[in-house]
Amino acid sequence: MGTPAAPRIDARLRQYIAGSRSFVSPAEVTRAAGELAWELGLPRPSYQQVRELMGGANRVDRHVARARRPAARVALSGVSTGLDFLYQYPGPGLADWYERYKRGG
Residues 7-60: tens digit of each pLDDT: 788 889 998 888 888 778 888 999 999 999 999 999 999 898 888 888 765 555
Task: Work out how many domains the chain is built from and give that number.
Answer: 2
- 79-93: pLDDT as tens digits: 998 888 888 888 888
Per-residue pLDDT, 31: 93
- 10-20: pLDDT as tens digits: 889 998 888 88
Sign of CA dihedral 104, 102, 100, 93: negative
Give me the domain span that covers residue 10: 1-59
Q: What is the pTM of this model?
A: 0.49
Q: Are residues 25 and 54 in the same domain?
A: yes
Q: At what angle do helices 26-40 and 47-54 cross, to 10 degrees?
A: 110
Q: Are residues 10 and 46 in the same domain?
A: yes
